Amino acid sequence: MNLRQLEVFQAVLQTGNMSAAARLLCITPSAVSKAVAHTELQLGYRLFTRSPSGLSPTPEARLLAMESASIHRQLDGLRRTARNLGRSDSGLVRLAAIPAITHEFLPEVLQLHAQRHPQVGIEVRTLNQDQMAQALLTHSVDFCLGYYPHPHPQISSDLLISGRLFLAVTRALWDRCPPSPEPRPHARLAHIPVIRLVGDDPMRQAIDELAQRLQAAAGPGIQVQTSRLALELVRRGMGWTVVDFLTARHLDPATLLTLELHELPPMSLYSYHASANPPGHQAQRMLGLMPALLHQALSVENKTRQAPLNPI
């Protein structure tokens, strides 16, 4: 089977009839029918049988579908790459970031960039870190932002800034906890539920480590996929969690208490790009805005932060 035959075969598999496959491929139904017939003639067996509900794949076709699915995905990826390469430096910046950065930091970057370069378009995607490699390697985005170095061998990680982690809890919940005889101020939270994370979120390890240090009560508790949802549950007084330095600076000090965690390693913010395809001129200009904004954010945070408590 050549690539065109494979494309027609996959289209008929997906749609179940010649006419729909033709519309999908932007060709005539007769061209689809001829391509299927020619392929069957070459292979020496039928690929589809007619039924009242449409075309049904034969057992041989089902096996071919399993073997050819990865090739079809690679073809789709090749098309995206070819399309995106043509506009990689054409006055459009395409970036992706994890949810915490998208909501807590990117608005400042986008506002400053729009003021300085109003003629440049911007596309922003919110992705988890495990989705970023495909977006970068297919040139769907110019660069990504996330915490910790990216593990993919074909992705380069450039450090932007490092900042402390913070414990977040409502002041009402903190005040209701009886003081602990231990010198550690956070020890009073030992019997307060922990809002944990599931999956590969970089914050998960920090939350688990702090819970272990506090000897938090074991139990099923609540586990969520995003730090944003965990923080919303904290706002509702359902427990405590750990947040990054960018999120901590936007929390309302009147209702939420943030405690800097000196004993946990800092969290570092990185930009990612495909090693074989560094960001173009427009993307580099946007990245160039970020260090000053990040250091300014940390400077404001240090000035407004409450007096530090003793470390855990």
**76-96 burial, b if ≥16 CB within 10 A, otherwise e?**
eeeeeeeebeeebeeeebbbb
* Mean pLDDT across 140-157: 94
194 with 211: CB under 8 angstroms? yes
The per-residue pLDDT for range 1-58, each reduced to its tens digit, is: 888 888 899 889 889 889 999 998 899 999 999 999 999 999 999 999 988 878 889 9
Q: Which two tokens stand for residue 20?
A: 């729909």
Q: Is the pLDDT of residue 161 over 50?
A: yes
The CATH code for residues 3-85 is 1.10.10.10
Considering the chain, what percentage of its residues have pLDDT values greater than 90? 50
In terms of Cα–Cα distance, which of 160, 137, 164, 141 is closest to 149?
160
What confidence category does residue 168 fall into, taking pLDDT thresholds of 50, 70 and 90?
very high
DSSP states of 283-312 as a string?
HHHHHHHHHHHHHHHHHHHHHHSPPPPPP-
Considering the chain, what percentage of its residues have pLDDT values greater than 70? 88
Domain with CATH 1.10.10.10 in the chain: 3-85
What confidence category does residue 239 fall into, taking pLDDT thresholds of 50, 70 and 90?
very high
Q: Is the pLDDT of residue 176 over 70?
A: yes
Domain with CATH 3.40.190.10 in the chain: 92-162+267-304, 166-260
- List Cα–Cα distances, 255 to 192, 237, 241, in angstroms: 17, 10, 15
Q: Is 92-162+267-304 a domain of CATH 1.10.10.10?
A: no
- Give pTM, 2 decimals: 0.66
The class of domain 166-260 in CATH terms is alpha beta
Q: Which two tokens stand for residue 41?
A: 């003639």
What confidence category does residue 83 fall into, taking pLDDT thresholds of 50, 70 and 90?
low
**Residues written for the chain:** 312
**Distant-in-sequence, close-in-space partners of 13: CB < 8 Å, separation ≥ 6:** 57, 61, 65
